[in-house]
């Protein structure tokens, strides 16, 4: 058991170093100076977004194999080398706060690694999670894969990221690392803010207060078995939290116009675009925050409208570096760049039938509202609203706790609101909350599944509590103590609700279940595996057999599928 635990911890450390190196290189290419080690630059998540952008392009030509991982490792090593050479990486004597910070993340890493040894129990593991991962590992992007199974056309680039971790001693086990790596990367960044409320002489800023208050939610998310499987929903929450905190940093520094802030804005757009490509449900977070960041932070004026438009265009171009290949992937997979939306379909030979795509879109919208009734019944009226609202109270950390914190802290935040100066002005506070509230409205309209709103709800809660506990730009010692106590209490609550499980008593990873399949033959002579139950754990298996299915090139599975 301990050898496997050590393997996970060492792999996380190596992968994190690679992402940081890629992030430093990308930060420099986006126009920023080489960042300071403990600066504001979100190097880890910028590097992760860079890796995802690269893997999307790679998958057009080759499966995501060890060569792809080696290319990413080379880029990370290059970035680290140039960063160290720049002179911005300086060693210093660690202080008490550094030891507390490192100790907290170390304990969290060991606890998370213990859970990562097990297997997730998500219902969709055998529906399409594992098979999506296998297609990424074994084949280049096949046209018309949605004809084989519409779930494989959902275009979640998350599985490319998981496949890149599935190399070397972690072959067949990379999915155990993916979610925990993002969780710990985020905890490393925001735990430093909590420590600064207790031990640092320099007063923490508003964004660090908000991060300290969101830390328990991030920690709790890694205390579930979802950390052990290729489940994109957990990573959606983590990336969403990072975007919310980046937005708070931009809001806090809105009076500055330096190159670091401009690059931070570009990083937010870049990470948000990668989050949408990872899983499109993150657009409820990424789109409002990206729009607010660009439109609210580019200095628009009549005299300089050309310059302002050019600067705004640069921000959007950075996002399109990720989103255009993602949309092209959608065309290859299904014929629809925004699948499951039928908008902007292209008349390619492998395009899925428009009526089927419309049916799938309706099913997804209805499932988020009431999965127990037919889509046409759910979407035709508002009868779903009360049962949907009633079951929200069953979700402690996703709904009940952030809403409760918001309700309790809002009156105190409003009292502070009345007495503040420019920093606490009405307009500035509305600007901070507006994109989060717009995101919640967008979430409610598209697919109001509580899984996809966690980052927004915790962002609203953290901002409300932070404003209730802070009087202005400077935070007093009693206020710092109150923030630290609130965050610590919530962290303790996460451990109480998710007790430390017994150490997994085996030397190795828990293997995936094996699917029980049989072979069926389409009328074109194509042999396809179908499950006897609900699960497929291999690429060439589909729970949606269609006798009209055939390969575009006989004998070549990578050539893709058509239905005729």
Q: Tell me the pLDDT tens digit for each residue of 136-188.
A: 999 999 999 999 999 999 999 999 999 999 998 888 888 899 999 999 999 99
The proportion of the chain whose per-residue pLDDT surpasses 70, expressed as a percent, equals 93
The pLDDT assigned to 422 comes to 41
* Strands 549-551 and 561-563, bridge-based pairing: antiparallel
Nearest residue to 329 (alpha-carbon basis) of 60, 86, 125: 60
Distances (CA, A) of 179 to 166, 183, 272: 13, 6, 17
Whether residue 420 has pLDDT greater than 70: no
Distances (CA, A) of 150 to 127, 158, 363: 11, 17, 12
Q: Is residue 395 part of a domain?
A: no
Q: Is residue 490 part of a domain?
A: no
Q: Is residue 358 part of a domain?
A: no
- DSSP string for 157-198: THHHHHHHT--GGGTTTGGGTHHHHHHHHHHHHHHHHHHHTT
Nearest residue to 54 (alpha-carbon basis) of 81, 18, 28, 86: 18
Whether residue 300 has pLDDT greater than 60: no
The pLDDT assigned to 502 comes to 64
Instruction: Provide the pLDDT confidence category of residue 404 given band limits of 50, 70 and 90.
Output: very high
Condensed to tens digits (0 to 9), the pLDDT of residues 217-230 reads 999 999 888 888 89
Which residues lie below 8 Å from residue 544, measured CB to CB, with a gap of 6+?
Answer: 148, 149, 150, 151
Q: What is the mean pLDDT of residues 109-119?
A: 88
Condensed to tens digits (0 to 9), the pLDDT of residues 331-343 reads 999 999 999 999 9
Which segment of 88-92, 173-177, 306-310, 512-516 scores lowest on mean pLDDT?
306-310
* Strands 527-531 and 549-551, bridge-based pairing: unpaired
Which segment of 24-33, 263-272, 284-293, 409-418 scores lowest on mean pLDDT?
409-418
Whether residue 427 has pLDDT greater than 50: yes
| Structural domains of the chain, count | 2
Q: Is residue 413 part of a domain?
A: no
The pLDDT assigned to 497 comes to 77
* Strands 517-521 and 527-531, bridge-based pairing: antiparallel
For residues 563 and 147, the answer to whether their CB atoms sit within 8 Å is yes
Q: Is residue 294 part of a domain?
A: yes
Which residues lie below 8 Å from residue 64, measured CB to CB, with a gap of 6+?
Answer: 55, 58, 136, 137, 160, 163, 164
Instruction: Provide the pLDDT confidence category of residue 473 given band limits of 50, 70 and 90.
Output: low
Domain of residue 538 covers 518-551
Length of the chain: 564
Instruction: Look at 219 and 256; give whichever has higher pLDDT.
Output: 219
Q: Mean pLDDT for the chain?
A: 88
Tell me the Cα Rg of the chain. 24
Give me the helices (H) in 37-89, please.
43-61, 66-85
Whether residue 488 has pLDDT greater than 80: yes
Q: Torsions phi, psi of 537, nearest 5?
A: -120, 30
Q: What is the mean pLDDT of residues 290-298?
A: 82
Among 294, 324, 352, give the residue marking a domain's end.
Answer: 352
Instruction: Provide the pLDDT confidence category of residue 252 given band limits of 50, 70 and 90.
Output: confident
Whether residue 505 has pLDDT greater than 60: no
The pLDDT assigned to 418 comes to 64
* Residue 193, number of CB atoms within 10 A of its CB: 24
Q: Is residue 275 part of a domain?
A: yes
Instruction: Provide the pLDDT confidence category of residue 423 given band limits of 50, 70 and 90.
Output: very low
Q: Distance (Å, rounded) from C-alpha 173 to C-alpha 167?
A: 8
Q: Is residue 479 part of a domain?
A: no
Among 299, 328, 352, give the residue marking a domain's end.
Answer: 352
Among 299, 331, 352, give the residue marking a domain's end.
Answer: 352
């Amino acid at each position: 058991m301990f050898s496997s635990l050590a393997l996970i911890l060492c792999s996380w450390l190596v992968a994190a170093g690679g992402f940081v190196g890629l992030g430093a290189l990308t930060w420099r290419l986006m126009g920023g100076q080489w960042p300071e080690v403990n600066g504001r630059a979100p190097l880890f998540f910028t590097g992760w977004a860079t890796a995802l952008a690269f893997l999307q392009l790679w998958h057009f030509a080759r499966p995501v194999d060890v060569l792809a991982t080696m290319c990413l490792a080379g880029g990370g090593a290059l970035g680290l080398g140039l960063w160290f050479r720049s002179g911005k990486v300086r060693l210093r004597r660690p202080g008490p706060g550094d030891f507390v910070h490192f100790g907290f993340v170390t304990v969290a890493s060991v606890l998370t690694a213990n859970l990562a040894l097990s297997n997730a129990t998500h219902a969709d593991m055998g529906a399409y999670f594992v098979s999506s991962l296998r297609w990424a590992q074994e084949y280049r992007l096949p046209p018309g894969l949605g004809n084989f199974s519409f779930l494989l056309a959902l275009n979640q680039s998350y599985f490319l990221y998981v496949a890149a971790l599935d190399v070397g001693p972690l072959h067949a086990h990379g999915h155990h690392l993916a979610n925990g790596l993002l969780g710990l990367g985020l905890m490393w960044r925001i735990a430093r803010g909590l420590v600064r409320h207790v031990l640092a002489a320099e007063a923490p800023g508003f964004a660090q207060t908000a991060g300290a208050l969101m830390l328990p939610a991030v920690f709790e998310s890694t205390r579930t078995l979802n950390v052990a499987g290729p489940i994109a929903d957990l990573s959606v929450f983590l990336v969403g939290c990072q975007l919310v905190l980046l937005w708070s940093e931009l809001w806090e520094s809105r009076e500055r116009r330096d190159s670091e802030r401009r690059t931070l804005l570009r990083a937010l757009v870049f990470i948000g675009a990668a989050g949408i490509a990872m899983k499109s449900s993150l657009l409820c977070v990424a789109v409002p925050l990206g729009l607010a960041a660009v439109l609210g932070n580019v200095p628009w004026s009549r005299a300089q409208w050309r310059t302002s438009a050019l600067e705004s265009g640069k921000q959007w171009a950075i996002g399109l570096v990720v989103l255009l290949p993602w949309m092209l992937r959608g065309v290859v997979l299904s014929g629809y760049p925004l699948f499951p939306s039928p908008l902007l379909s292209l008349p390619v030979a492998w395009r899925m039938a428009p009526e089927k795509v419309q049916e799938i879109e309706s099913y997804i919208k209805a499932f988020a509202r009431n999965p127990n009734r037919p889509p046409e019944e759910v979407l035709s009226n508002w009868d779903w609203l009360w049962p949907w609202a009633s079951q929200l109270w069953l979700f402690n950390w996703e709904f009940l706790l952030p809403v409760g914190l918001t309700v309790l802290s809002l009156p105190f935040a409003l009292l502070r609101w009345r007495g503040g100066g420019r920093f606490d002005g009405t307009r500035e506070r509305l600007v901070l909350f507006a994109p989060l509230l717009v995101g919640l409205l967008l979430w409610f309209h598209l697919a109001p599944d509580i899984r996809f709103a966690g980052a927004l709800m915790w962002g609203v809660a953290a901002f409300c509590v932070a404003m209730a506990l802070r009087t202005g730009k400077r935070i007093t010692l009693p206020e710092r103590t109150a923030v630290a106590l609130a965050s610590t209490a919530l962290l303790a609550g996460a451990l109480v609700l998710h007790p430390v499980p017994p150490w997994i008593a085996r030397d190795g990873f828990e293997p995936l279940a094996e699917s029980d399949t049989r072979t069926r033959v389409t009328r074109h002579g194509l042999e396809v595996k179908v499950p006897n139950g609900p699960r497929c754990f291999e690429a060439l298996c589909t729970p949606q057999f269609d006798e009209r299915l055939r390969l575009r090139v006989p004998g070549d599975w990578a050539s893709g599928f058509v239905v005729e």
